[in-house]
A and B are shown apart, each in its own frame.
Chain A
Amino acid sequence: MYSFEPSEEQKMLIDAISRYSTSDLRPAAHDAEENKELPPKLISKGWELGVLQASIPEAYGGFGERSAVTGVLAAEAMAYGDLAGALAVGTPGLFALPILLSGSEEQKKQYLPPVIEADWRGYTAALLEPSFDFDPNDLKTTATTDGNDYILKGEKTFVPFATSAEAMIVFAKLDGATKGFIVLKGAAGLKIGAEREKFMGLNALPFFKVTLDGVKVPKANLLEGDFAPVLAAMRVSIAAMAIGVARAAFEYSRDYAKEREVFGVKVAQKQAIAFMLAEMATEIEAIRLLTWEAAWVIDANKEDASKQAYLSLTGAVDMAMMVTDRAVQILGGHGYIREHPVELWMRNGRGIATFTGLAMV
């Protein structure tokens, strides 16, 4: 059967997240970006909503079952408030979910409870690499066998909270395939950039370059499972966040156009603007459904999950850019001023093409 209606439980979760993202994340977003810092209390309040905790089974310290559909619903609602805030709240998921999806029973028992049962702590992951044609399935960071250990070599970028991280998943190429490795704080050869990375957006988040200079990890720290489900989950997560960002930009520019006068009518009463808004709304809904379907396919364990997730993110990349660009355009000169949030959303919108690996919900 088809159904486009979230379950009661999902609706309750979305409501709770929406309240937080509207009344907490959104009002803090501007200053967080400008001051390059998210208030820790803001992050812990988001953490207490329990989005990640609810997707980890009780046996590993959580109180629910993983559902990609619930994940994309949560991701959209969270990113609607602020993308940087949403990513920060969800960062421990970058560590926990690869273990849940591709780790062994022992790894889950050992590593998940400390993340899930505690307050928000810096657990993170390092996937992206500083090259223009970065390909998660063809990493330049390598893992080679050395007796009972693996040796990791390579360079990573975009690693959130790397300096304060208790542990991180480092993704590297082992025998031609991407695999995750659990790397603990202070591992020899793990070099974290001295300065924060500087990007066009997401300045509220501390990102670092991470160099793996022959980091030795015991064999027990390899996530043996397939990387494909991990990547699919990452892709639909960031696609869903793109939808949240786009919806924020759409609604803001729509409301602005209904207020602002031009030639004796409201801006929104001009077809040139009204049609732009109509297309934005249509595009958002189309890609939302594509992303929901991809998430549903993941949950249903269908074989084309990877392809569907890839297609939904491909769609989300273009949709987010189109919608956020138009939102700025509808505000005109005001859209270019940092007092309005639309320029920040446009910077975020352009980043969606790059952000795979920064979200896993």
Chain B
Amino acid sequence: MIEFEIPEKIAGICTVIKSVADNMMRPVSRYFDEHEHEIPWDYITFMQTATRAMGGSSMAPSEKREGPRLGFQRLAFMVEMLSWGDAGIYLDTPGGMLGSAAVSATGTPEQKERFLARFKNETPTFDAMCMTEPQCGSDTSAIRTTAVLDKDESQWILNGEKIFVTAGHKAMVDSKGFIVIWATIDPKAGRAGMRPFVVEAGTPGCQVTKLEHKLGIRASDTVSIVLQDCRIPFDNILGSPEVVTDKATTGFKGAMATFDATRPIVAAQAIGLARAALELLKEMLTEKGITIRYGLPRQKLTSIEKDVIDMEVMLRSAWLLVIEAVWMMDNGKPNSLESSMCKVRAGDVVNKITQKAVEIMGPLGYSREHLLEKWFRDAKISDIYEGTGQINRLVVARQILGYRSSELR
């Protein structure tokens, strides 16, 4: 049965998060945009307490199975609403995020327990995922960070540099969190050599070296991390022990499986931001006495009405793609195609909507007295991280054409 009803439980959570967004995020949006690298501890502490009070240890979907599975749908709705509040501050939400997604997608049950338990603590704890390096971004198979096995000590020795790590500072400096490092155990093997490793905060040889200054999402830290003879226990390699010797591309596939889970969530973030911009635009238009006359033929609409109606079409259809992708996750259906599709669409849509909103509002849109210009800057990241729009188009294209990566480069 085709259905489009928000599950009651999720609707309830959204109401709660809406008030968090209204009271804890919006009032400080501008402040944290203008005070880059300051940390919104009030929000973080509140979210930590609230999540614990509600019985959850993190935002990440739990393994428990009761009735229909809603974990990823719930997460998508939560993220959408938090991002509606503030796309930068949302990224400071404590609990498992991208690093945990990698652990969930590729780790053993024992590893999940070991690494994810920390989010149940009283103190806010963060994680991060490290893929990009100075010389490679989208081409993840070109990573140079190495992991060498020291058999005597039963340890991995990591060397290399990771950049553009979202929340890396909070994971490694501001809390006892962890990062997931994608490294190669055989630099000649290309993607066949890629493996995910967990490095916990406080591990010697792992250092946060740089805080980036960004176009938007300034409330969120983006850092460089240098690994210098960084030793981690043997079983911090995610997955079963065979992944060590496996010549196949298990590790790379793990990265891709992680993306299947995380791309819809990043897309949900884009949607929340886009909705914020469209709603504010409509409010501002209403104040100016402009109402949108839905139902009229296009020939009778004003240019602004056409723009707003197009924005609504874009926003709603893109959001439904996200919901479809997470619904497939929850129902155990392979969703690589839908996951990348929704990321492509959401990345486009949030940029078009925020750009148009600034344009329509003219000087008011460009002014830092309103949030539209901030959201326009925040929006751009959604078309870049977790796979650029172009990489996701490539993924979609390969899927619909039935091509391997060697056939469509």
Which residues of chain A have a CB within 8 Å of any CB of chain B?
A: 1-7, 10, 69, 132-135, 137, 254, 257-258, 268-269, 271, 274-275, 277-279, 281-282, 285-287, 289-290, 292-293, 296-297, 300, 306-307, 310-312, 314-315, 318, 353
At the interface, yes or no: B324 with Cβ under 8 Å from chain A?
yes
Task: Given A1-B5, A311-B309, verify A281-B317 contact (CB < 8 Å).
Answer: no
Residues of B within 8 A of A (CB): 1-7, 68, 73, 294-300, 309-310, 312-314, 316-318, 320-321, 323-324, 327-328, 338, 341, 344-345, 390, 393-394, 396-398, 400-401, 403, 407-409
Complex-state Cα separation, A271 to B310, whole angstroms: 28
* A3 contacts B396, C-beta separation under 8 Å: no
Which residues of B lie under 8 Å from residue A314 when comparing CB positions? 298, 309-310, 313
Which of A137, A271, A286 contacts B345 (CB under 8 A)? A286
Closest residue of B by beta carbon distance from A274: B397
Chain A residues near B398: list those with CB within 8 A. 274
Q: Does the CB pair B294–A3 fall under 8 Å?
A: no
Q: Report chain A residues within 8 Å CB of B299.
A: 132-133
Contact (Cβ within 8 A) A268 B3: no
Task: Please judge, given known A-B contacts A2-B7, A269-B407, whether A278 and B2 are in contact too, CB under 8 Å.
Answer: no
- Please name all residues of chain A whose beta carbon is closer than 8 Å to the beta carbon of B2 when the two chains form the complex: 3-7, 10, 69, 292, 296
Contacts of B297 in A (CB 8 A): 133-135
Contact of B401 among A277, A293, A315 (CB under 8 A): A277
CB distance from B302 to the nearest CB of A (A): 13
Contact status A2-B397, CB under 8 Å: no
CB <8 Å contact, A282 and B396: yes
Identify whether the interface residues of B are mostly helix, strand, loop, or mixed. helix
Interchain CB contact under 8 A, A311 and B316:
yes
Complex contacts, B320 vs chain A, CB 8 Å? 286, 289-290, 293
A268 pairs with B316, CB closer than 8 A: no
Report which residue of B298, B309, B344, B401 has the largest number of chain A beta carbons within 10 angstroms of its beta carbon.
Answer: B401
A274-B321 in contact (CB<8A):
no
| Given A292-B2, A311-B316, residue A353 in contact with residue B298 (CB < 8 A) | yes
Q: Is A3 touching B400 in the complex (CB atoms < 8 A)?
A: no
Contact A281 B327 (CB under 8 A): no
For B295, give its contact among A137, A258, A292 (CB under 8 Å): A137
Q: Contacts A282-B344, A311-B316, A315-B317; is A296 near B294 (CB within 8 Å)? A: no
Q: How many A-B residue pairs have CB under 8 A?
A: 134
Q: How far is the CB of B310 from chain A (nearest CB, A)?
A: 7
* A296 near B4: Cβ-Cβ < 8 Å: yes
Nearest CB to that of A67 among chain B residues?
Answer: B2
Given contacts A2-B7, A271-B397, A314-B309, 10 further A-B contacts (CB under 8 A): A1-B3, A1-B5, A2-B327, A134-B297, A274-B408, A279-B393, A282-B396, A285-B341, A290-B316, A315-B314
Q: Assuming the A-B contacts A1-B5, A286-B317, are A277 and B295 also in contact, with contact meaning beta carbons closer than 8 angstroms in the complex?
A: no
> Can you name 8 A-B residue pairings with CB atoms under 8 Å?
A2-B3, A135-B300, A254-B400, A258-B401, A268-B408, A277-B401, A278-B394, A286-B320
Please indicate the chain A residues that have their CB under 8 angstroms from the CB of B393 in the complex: 274-275, 278-279
**Within the complex, what minimum Cβ distance (angstroms) separates A292 from chain B?**
6
Looking at the assembled complex, report how far the CB atom of B388 sits from the nearest CB atom of chain A, in whole angstroms: 12
Contact A3 to B3, CB < 8 A, known contacts A275-B393, A314-B309, A353-B298: yes
Are the CB atoms of A311 and B324 closer together than 8 Å? Answer: no
Bound state CA distance, A167 and B7, in angstroms? 45
Closest chain A CB from B94 CB (angstroms): 28
A268 to B6, CA, bound (A): 39
Which residue from A3, A258, A282 sits with its C-beta under 8 Å from B1? A3
Contacts of A281 in B (CB 8 A): 341, 396, 400
Counting chain A CB atoms within 10 Å of each CB, the highest count among B4, B299, B323 belongs to B4
Which listed residue (A69, A134, A287) contacts B317, Cβ 8 A?
A: A287
A2-B5 CB under 8 A given contacts A269-B407, A287-B317: yes
List chain B residues, Cβ under 8 A from A133. Answer: 297, 299-300
Q: A278-B400, A290-B317 are in contact. Are A2 and B73 (CB under 8 A)?
A: yes
CA distance A306 to B296 in the complex (A): 11
